Amino acid sequence: MDARAIYQNLESWQKETALLGSIAGVLGWDQRVTMPPKAAPHRANQLAMLSGMIHQRATDPRIGEWLSQLESSELTQPPDSVPAVNIRQWRREYDKLTKLPTELVMEFTRVTSLAEKVWEEAREESDFRLFQPHLEKIVSLVREIAERLGYEREPYDALLDEYEQGMTAQEVERLFEPLRRHTPELVAQLQNAPRQPDTSILRRHYPREAQERFCRLIAERIGFDWQRGRLDPTVHPFATRLSPGDVRITTRYYEDFLNPSLFGTIHELGHALYEMGLPEEHWGTPMGASASLGMHESQSRMWENFVGRSRAFWEHFYPTAQEHFDALRDVPLDDFVFAVNAVQPSTIRVEADEVTYNLHILLRFELELALLRGELQVADLPSAWNEKFKAYMGFEPPNDAEGVLQDVHWSGGMIGYFPTYTLGNLYAAQLFEAAERDLGDLQAQFRKGEFAPLLEWLREKVHHQGQRYPAKELIERITGAPPSAEPLLSYFQRKFAPLYGL
């Protein structure tokens, strides 16, 4: 059998495995959006069975045989061609998965599926003790997974590599250090500035129905395709692609606070646009998948903050917002723009402003490192969280719900995930600078409601590349510089100093 026939066999096999994964995705979406609570144990068994089937297919010895034959063929050249990228990434995934027994994968899926519903209850009750035994099991499992996957320096590297290929904890610490040094100083300057925003205008009465209509309108005008997607409410917003024609986003509505639905929707929209922009013909292969979670987050944070919180964006959308919300009829545009860009330390990460957001990630990253290094026990997480939070923000969360229990990630076993959020902010700043160099005055385009040029640029430079390059290499190829915190810090100064009258 020649190399191309072998490649076709492997590609077909992997796409069938991806179909099973998409079925699990439907069950996961349903679990987080519409499933009744008492269905949790049965859903956990369903997902565990599916994860076992997927793992068995993904570790089938024939994959290793096919890859060995392909790796010595002409299909690996040039190295950035579609077959070469797929072969390289399939090998990477196969080598990882074959280190994990099917029983471990199934147990991990079962434990995390049950843990998510317990986390929701614990968060509702604001009682970490309800969730603690589940998280202890999860931490034990991820430690075992890290040991089986292997690492050079520390266990965290094996987990981080699952989300951000080739990145290590040491690299993350180096990239985050300028943010750790300069962010508290900037926050203090802004809090003591002569001009301060009136954020109470965002906490007036905003009817849920009006929020939903307005969020849907913004999503559509930016580029969301309602024939290929939907928007639903959930406890913790997320986006997921179930197939090339099925990309789903979620948000949450509070009638006494506009920000969560508005900017939550734009954030998840950024994720959805990336998924909708991936090459449809390559679905189920690495060339039809995102480069990394950090790159994914760069898309959501760019649309949420660099676009959605810009004055130019609201010059276009604010008259429509005033039509939707009586609460904004007496609010001048400048006051609204200042309010949605307020820098105020707060307890909830997903509602945090652009500047303090990264402090939330630093806190979580440091706690995860301590857990994996054995320097911190799960039982001590609430007190450790509050101590670090006070050091970064200047006050302690009032309860577990607004502190250690606020995020869904640990219930899903996603330790190593949080750094990708700030990596996404760094990538977004570099990409936005590059887009402005290539496309000219983006703010003038936003004022006219023209978002297609930026979206098409991102599709060419980022989305259509799939996993051709690791994220940090893709950033350097697009922008001409390796990942750095400097563009983001410069953006903060350019944006917030004028707003606050500094």
In whole angstroms, what is the distance from residue 150 CA to residue 159 CA? 10
Contact 421, 479 (CB under 8 A): no
Phi and psi, residue 233, nearest 5°:
-85, 150
Kindly give, in sequence order, each residue whose CB lies less than 8 Å from that of residue 59, ignoring residues fewer than 6 positions away: 94, 97, 98, 102
Q: In the Cβ-directed half-sphere of 79, how many Cα atoms lie within 13 Å?
A: 3
**pLDDT reported for residue 236:** 79
**pLDDT reported for residue 235:** 81
> Distance of alpha carbon 322 from its chain centroid, rounded?
30
- pLDDT beneath 50: ranges in the chain: none
Q: Tell the CATH topology of 169-499.
A: Neurolysin; domain 3 (1.10.1370)
- In the numeric block, the tokens 């002409």 are attached to 74
In whole angstroms, what is the distance from residue 498 CA to residue 107 CA? 53
Burial of 87 (0-12, 13-18, 19+ CB in 10 A): buried
**pLDDT reported for residue 350:** 83
pLDDT in tens, 142-160: 999 999 999 999 999 999 9
Tokens encoding 458: 């991102």
Q: Which of 347, 339, 45 is nearest to 198 (CA)?
A: 339
Choice among 11, 162, 268, 275 that is catalytic: 268
Count the residues in the chain. 502
Active site residue 171: no
Compute, in degrees rounded to 10, the torsion defined by CA atoms 309, 311, 314, 315: -170
Q: In the Cβ-directed half-sphere of 337, how many Cα atoms lie within 13 Å?
A: 22
**pLDDT reported for residue 351:** 82
Q: Which of 117, 143, 128, 152 is nearest to 39 (CA)?
A: 117
**H runs (alpha helix) in 59-168:** 61-70, 82-97, 102-125, 128-149, 155-163
Burial of 160 (0-12, 13-18, 19+ CB in 10 A): buried
